[in-house]
């Protein structure tokens, strides 16, 4: 009985949907997090009678045929890219991106990774690094005797010193844009890696090529909408229950068939 396996694929799909929703809700407070959406496609169809089959000697054709679906399968978990609201932190090294760009950081393997989490820290050597210690690319070193740091919308970084009134530029932050940011591979820790699907990253100065501008003293909040997530969670739960009822009904039908004498 096909209903058993079809309903099983439906339950598996709704379970995966709940897992994606739970991950979104768990990351409601994650800086720069974009919500994920589980997407599904129907499985192969069994062609009992193909549309257009000749059904009589006079050449008349079957208009629709009989095509029996065999269930559902996950097709992708896509990222819903959206600009999160900006929260003021007042931190000199907290930087939010207003636009579509990413910060580039260097991993211990010397490979590049990308993030929208601008909660940078200062290492013992004065380097700007992420919360996990990965240095920003290109490197920016804040002098030990710097009194404060100022970062403008174009990414220019200035340091103020106690013995000088004028600020001194110590570097410039670049942003990276991708033709298909949904194709980036998530690494965890708010990091992504470029793939063939995302295309190669294009390095630009803030304010150019659509990568956005910077705002010092702010961080980008998660774009997760709790109301929407709870609504989808209820829908997924109902879908799971309905598929389980199909399995129960199919089991009762099989039981009735075995009792026929």
Q: What is the pLDDT of residue 56?
A: 63
Whether residues 32 and 103 fall in one domain: no
Average pLDDT for the chain: 92
Regarding whether 187 and 136 lie in a shared domain, the answer is: yes
Number of domains the chain is built from? 2
Q: Which pLDDT score is estimated for 198?
A: 94
Please calculate the CA angle 52-53-55 and round it to the nearest 5 degrees.
Answer: 120
Which regions of the chain does DSSP assign to beta strands (E)?
Answer: 36-42, 45-49, 66-69, 72-79, 86-88, 95-98, 103-106, 112-115, 121-122, 128-129, 136-137, 146-151, 156-161, 168-172, 175-177, 185-188, 191-193, 202-204, 213-216, 218-220
Asked if 97 and 204 count as a contact pair (C-beta separation under 8 A), the reply is: no
The tens digit of pLDDT for each residue in 142-201 reads 998 898 999 999 999 999 998 888 899 999 999 999 999 999 999 999 999 999 999 999
pLDDT of 258 reads 82
Confidence (pTM): 0.85
Same domain, 200 and 132: yes
Q: Determine which of 8-22, 48-62, 80-94, 108-122 has the lowest per-residue pLDDT on average.
A: 48-62
Q: Are residues 61 and 153 both part of a single domain?
A: no
Q: Are 78 and 182 in contact (CB under 8 A)?
A: yes
Share of the chain above pLDDT 70, in %: 98
Q: Residue 252 pLDDT > 80, yes or no? A: yes
User: CA dist 216 to 91, 95, 154, Å?
Assistant: 8, 5, 11
- Mean predicted confidence (pLDDT) in 212-237: 96
Orientation angle between helical segments 2-26 and 226-258, nearest 10 degrees: 160
Q: What are phi and psi of 41, to 5 degrees?
A: -135, 150
* Phi/psi-derived region of residue 209, left when phi > 0, alpha when psi is between -120 and 50, beta in every other case: left
pLDDT at 27: 96
Bond from prior residue into 138 cis (ω within 30 degrees of 0)? yes
> By mean pLDDT, which of 64-73, 119-128, 216-225, 236-245 is the weakest?
64-73
Cα–Cα dist 21/249, whole Å: 29
**pLDDT, average across residues 212-224:** 95
Q: What is the pLDDT of residues 125-145, one digit of tens each?
A: 999 999 999 999 999 999 988
Phi, psi of 187 (to 5 degrees): -105, -10
Q: Are residues 29 and 69 in the same domain?
A: yes
Phi, psi (deg, nearest 5) at residue 260: -70, 130
- Same domain membership, residue 169 and residue 111: yes
C-alpha 258, offset from chain centre: 49
Residue 203 scores a pLDDT above 90: yes
Q: Which of 131, 128, 167, 129 is nearest to 146 (CA)?
A: 167
Residues 130 and 68 in one domain: no
The boundaries of the domain holding residue 210 are 86-220
Which one is predicted more confidently, 8 or 49? 8
Is 93 found in the same domain as 68? no
Confidence of residue 261 (pLDDT cuts 50, 70, 90): low
Indicate if 56 and 178 belong to the same structural domain: no
For residues 104 and 241, give the distance between their C-alpha atoms in angstroms, rounded to a whole number.
44
Same-domain status, 205 and 118: yes
Q: Which residue is listed with tokens 């499985």?
A: 43
Please tell me whether residues 90 and 132 are part of one structural domain: yes
């Amino acid at each position: 009985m096909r209903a058993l396996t079809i309903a099983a694929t439906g339950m598996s799909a709704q379970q995966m949907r709940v897992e994606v929703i739970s991950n979104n809700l768990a990351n409601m407070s994650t800086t720069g997090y974009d919500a994920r959406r589980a997407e599904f496609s129907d499985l192969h169809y069994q062609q009992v009678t193909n549309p257009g089959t000749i059904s009589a000697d006079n050449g008349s054709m079957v208009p629709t045929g009989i095509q029996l679906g065999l269930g559902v399968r996950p097709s992708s978990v896509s990222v819903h890219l959206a600009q999160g609201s900006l929260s003021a932190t007042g931190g000199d090294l907290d930087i939010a991106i207003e636009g579509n760009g990413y910060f580039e950081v260097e991993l211990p393997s010397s490979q590049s990774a990308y993030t929208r989490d601008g909660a940078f820290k200062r290492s013992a050597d004065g380097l700007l690094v992420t919360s996990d210690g990965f240095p920003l690319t290109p490197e920016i070193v804040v002098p030990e005797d710097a009194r404060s740091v100022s970062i403008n919308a174009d990414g220019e970084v200035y340091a103020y010193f106690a013995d000088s009134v004028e600020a001194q530029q110590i570097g410039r932050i670049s942003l990276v844009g991708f033709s298909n940011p949904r194709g980036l591979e998530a690494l965890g820790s708010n990091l992504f890696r470029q793939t063939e699907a995302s295309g190669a990253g294009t390095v630009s100065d803030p304010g150019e090529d659509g990568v956005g501008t910077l705002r010092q003293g702010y961080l980008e909040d998660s774009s997760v909408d709790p109301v929407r997530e709870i609504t989808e969670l209820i829908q997924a739960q109902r879908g799971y229950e309905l598929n389980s009822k199909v399995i129960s009904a199919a089991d009762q039908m099989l039981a009735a068939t075995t009792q026929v004498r």
